[in-house]
Chains A and B, each alone.
Chain A
Amino acid sequence: MAHVTIKGLHKHFGAVHVVKGIDLAIADGEFTVLVGPSGCGKSTLLRTVAGLEQASEGTIEIGGKVVNDIRPRDRDVAMVFQDYALYPHMTVAQNIGFGLRARNFPKPEIETRVKRAAKMLNIDQLLDRLPRQLSGGQRQRVAIGRAIVRNPQIFLFDEPLSNLDAQLRDEMRSEIKRLHQELGATMIYVTHDQIEAMTLADRIVLMNAGQIEQSGTPLELYERPRTRFVAGFLGSPKINFIKARLENAGIVFADGQALGLPAADAQRYAAHAGKPVIFGIRPQHIDRAPMTGSPHIKSTVDLVQPTGARTYVTFAIGGEPVMAELDAHDAGKPGDEIAIALDLAHFLLIDPESGNVLGR
């Protein structure tokens, strides 16, 4: 187990600048998830930590030692690949024990360690099979077994669940989380799936275009995003962004409907008064309101998507589609006139030009 420190890391592939100055400190035993849209450089960053790519600039330290010029085999890291990368010509037991054999461990020890790892992952009855005789989930377990058997300082996961079907993915996600709790090892996990990021991470590092957009605990990023990109990336269904204007009295939408802000908020955003803003609110923070009484916005139901307990209802505010997550019994049907209450304890105002969240 060890901590990882990345300083000023850049990576170029020819003329393409993929990683553009990453500074990141990962604590011992931390589960860090690198998340971001495809092409944001997260996999490249992980592969650079593994030593499969050379850093163009900057340093990587593992356990306080700079490893830039150290071969992958001597970095004491283990990696789980997206396509599992099982050796097709070896049995499950040989696959799991491969790293130990390559390091010349004595045979009896390899055997005990392989058995222990297999038991931990519930694949001890598959040890004599070849990879092609296994299902996707079993292959993934073998790949993870190959990593844990070596007891490395750091585990690296490169989108390990993206080839599995939805149900298996949930199952393996829990398994990986449990593994982290049992082993307490430092893990770095790359994914483009925000659910995986939210559920697994001690800390999320959200990347965009080769840079870190924001890093912090899942809840921090979810509740206090610093940019429109972060707000839009995390959360399901996606947060709503509505073009509006900030006036002294409150928020005015394109169709003239207005929303009074609490006094404290009005004061906080006073500097931006009179300017266009983007009003961001998550579907969970929108509710039906009584047609009379408390302040509300009026609209017409456009689309209703039931999912069971909750129902996603789409309508327009200021001409822009907005999705709300409502109780199934409150959903109404397309064409219904509804009154909407926006929970003003949970909204964001974003500068449309910079994309930064205001008031932070």
Chain B
Amino acid sequence: MTKGLFTRANIARTLLLGFFLLFTFAPLYWMFITSIKPSDDYLAVPPVWFPAEPTMLHYTAALFAYRGLDGLINSVIISAAATLLSTVLGTLMAYSLARFNTGGQHLSFWVLSQRFLPPIAIVLPIFLIYRAVGLHDTHLGLIIAYTVFTLPVTVWMMFAYFRQMPKSLEEAALVDGCTRWQSLWRVAIPLAMPGIVAAAVFAFIACWTEFFFALILTSQTAFTLPTVFRAFLGFQGAQYGEASALAMVSLVPSIILGILAQRHLVRGLTLGAVRG
């Protein structure tokens, strides 16, 4: 038993895993302790591994003085709405592409090709249009932009998902007495749920971490969490504590989402309908 435990392969594996964990968690740890360190400890030599007097000051500063809380609330509203829209619209679009071959061979690729465009190329025209129609610095404006921005990936994920789902299930439903909508709602959607959850998670993460559009298209009202970080790099040097505190806060939704979606994500990646 003990002999088996210390084989070369096991030692190598443990070292590798240990290194990987260190690589993953060390920055997180550093971020966490920086968020509770007094300012003098940030760059102290030797480094402070755990502050003697932890403080919550950076959190209150980041959330209130720097309006991080407003950004957080905006981010939640905008990301959730855009994710919902993108998932609903994207799923319906993908179903149409997969089942009715809508738009022939090229529409599905055209949808994806929207992502080939560098954001910088479209952000200025969008900015000008938004200013003209009064969408600048509004929640709705950013929700629309994020929905459009995440749709291609949602459509493609769901397109692939529907395409590998046997058609005969929906056909059986049609013959059994369903309309097209009912067969979609009662058969196709429940079976596609793992894919839908996966697509929604991807869309949410994309919205949650988006910086560039938010920077240009919002200012004082609809600004999102990532744009708040700008304020921490100022004339007087970087506000490490506040930045870390806000980063900790912005991690929370990602972690909650990850835990909620884990079950579905795993199923989504190893799916397979019942076959003969």
| Prevailing SS type, chain B contact patch | helix
A146→B274 CA distance, assembly (Å): 16
Count how many pairs of residues, one from A and one from B, have CB atoms less than 8 Å apart in the complex: 75
**A72 with B274: CB separation less than 8 A:** no
* Given A73-B179, A103-B177, A87-B187 contact (CB < 8 Å): yes
Tell me, yes or no, whether A335 is within 8 Å of chain B by CB.
Answer: no
In A168-195, the 8 Å CB interface with B consists of none
Pick the residue among A79, A85, A150, A163 that contacts B166 (CB under 8 A). Answer: A85
**B276 with A88: CB separation less than 8 A:** no
Query: CB-nearest residue of chain B relative to A97?
Result: B176
Tell me, yes or no, whether B169 is within 8 Å of chain A by CB.
Answer: yes
Q: Determine how close the nearest CB of chain B comes to the CB of A228; give it in whole angstroms.
A: 34
User: A residues within 8 A CB of B174?
Assistant: 51-52, 71-73
Query: CB-nearest residue of chain B relative to A146?
Result: B176
Tell me, yes or no, whether A327 is within 8 Å of chain B by CB.
Answer: no
Pick the residue among B168, B173, B179, B190 that contacts A83 (CB under 8 A). Answer: B168
* Given A85-B168, A85-B169, A89-B191, A72-B175 contact (CB < 8 Å): yes
> What 1/0 mask marks residues of chain A from 4 to 33 whose CB sits below 8 Å from any chain B CB?
000000000000000000000000000000
Interface residues of B (CB under 8 A from A): 166, 168-169, 171-179, 182, 186-187, 190-191, 273-276
* Given A88-B274, A102-B173, A71-B166 contact (CB < 8 Å): no
Task: Find the residue from B169, B175, B178, B190 having the highest chain A CB count within 10 A.
Answer: B175
Pick the residue among A52, A89, A136 that contacts B171 (CB under 8 A). Answer: A52
**A73 with B177: CB separation less than 8 A:** yes
* Given A85-B169, A87-B169, A102-B182, A139-B176 contact (CB < 8 Å): no
**A83 with B275: CB separation less than 8 A:** yes
A172→B169 CA distance, assembly (Å): 22
* Given A87-B187, A89-B190, A89-B191, A77-B276 contact (CB < 8 Å): no
**A85 with B171: CB separation less than 8 A:** yes
Tell me, yes or no, whether A41 is within 8 Å of chain B by CB.
Answer: no
User: B residues within 8 A CB of A55?
Assistant: none
Tell me, yes or no, whether A157 is within 8 Å of chain B by CB.
Answer: no
Tell me, yes or no, whether A131 is within 8 Å of chain B by CB.
Answer: yes
**A163 with B276: CB separation less than 8 A:** yes
A88→B275 CA distance, assembly (Å): 9
Q: Determine how close the nearest CB of chain B comes to the CB of A248; give it in whole angstroms.
A: 57
A139→B275 CA distance, assembly (Å): 9
**B172 with A81: CB separation less than 8 A:** yes
A156→B273 CA distance, assembly (Å): 23
**B274 with A86: CB separation less than 8 A:** yes
Tell me, yes or no, whether A346 is within 8 Å of chain B by CB.
Answer: no
User: B residues within 8 A CB of A73?
Assistant: 174-179
Pick the residue among A50, A78, A84, A102 that contacts B276 (CB under 8 A). Answer: A84
* Number of chain A residues close to chain B: CB under 8 A: 32
A52→B169 CA distance, assembly (Å): 12
Interface residues of A (CB under 8 A from B): 50-52, 71-73, 77-79, 81-89, 98-100, 102-103, 131-132, 136, 139, 146, 150, 156, 163-164
A98→B178 CA distance, assembly (Å): 9
Pick the residue among B168, B178, B182 that contacts A81 (CB under 8 A). Answer: B168
List 13 A–B pairs whose Cβ atoms lie within 8 Å, in order of A's numbering: A51-B174, A52-B171, A72-B171, A83-B276, A84-B274, A84-B276, A87-B169, A88-B274, A102-B178, A103-B177, A131-B274, A139-B274, A163-B276
User: B residues within 8 A CB of A102?
Assistant: 173, 176-178, 182, 186
User: A residues within 8 A CB of B187?
Assistant: 87
A52→B176 CA distance, assembly (Å): 12
A309→B26 CA distance, assembly (Å): 78
**B182 with A79: CB separation less than 8 A:** no
Q: Determine how close the nearest CB of chain A comes to the CB of B177; give it in whole angstroms.
A: 4
Query: CB-nearest residue of chain B relative to A80?
Result: B172
Query: CB-nearest residue of chain B relative to A76?
Result: B177
**A132 with B175: CB separation less than 8 A:** no
A77→B177 CA distance, assembly (Å): 9
Q: Determine how close the nearest CB of chain A comes to the CB of B271; give it in whole angstroms.
A: 10
**B274 with A150: CB separation less than 8 A:** no
Query: CB-nearest residue of chain B relative to A52?
Result: B171
A81→B169 CA distance, assembly (Å): 9
User: B residues within 8 A CB of A164?
Assistant: 276
Q: Which 3 A-B pairs have the closest CB atoms?
A: A163-B276, A99-B176, A102-B177
**A52 with B173: CB separation less than 8 A:** no
User: B residues within 8 A CB of A83?
Assistant: 166, 168, 275-276
A286→B174 CA distance, assembly (Å): 51
Task: Find the residue from B169, B177, B186 having the highest chain A CB count within 10 A.
Answer: B177
Pick the residue among B179, B191, B273, B276 that contacts A139 (CB under 8 A). Answer: B276
A100→B178 CA distance, assembly (Å): 10
**A98 with B176: CB separation less than 8 A:** yes
Task: Find the residue from A51, A77, A85, A86 having the highest chain B CB count within 10 A.
Answer: A85
User: B residues within 8 A CB of A77?
Assistant: 175
A100→B173 CA distance, assembly (Å): 11
User: B residues within 8 A CB of A72?
Assistant: 171, 174-175
Query: CB-nearest residue of chain A relative to B180?
Result: A71
User: B residues within 8 A CB of A79?
Assistant: 171-172, 175
A156→B171 CA distance, assembly (Å): 13
* Given A83-B276, A84-B276, A78-B190 contact (CB < 8 Å): no
Apart from A73-B179, A89-B191, A100-B177, 13 more pairs, CB < 8 Å: A51-B174, A52-B174, A73-B174, A78-B176, A81-B172, A84-B274, A86-B274, A88-B274, A99-B177, A103-B177, A139-B274, A146-B176, A150-B176
Q: Determine how close the nearest CB of chain B comes to the CB of A333; give it in whole angstroms.
A: 42
A230→B172 CA distance, assembly (Å): 32
**A88 with B175: CB separation less than 8 A:** no
User: A residues within 8 A CB of B182?
Assistant: 102
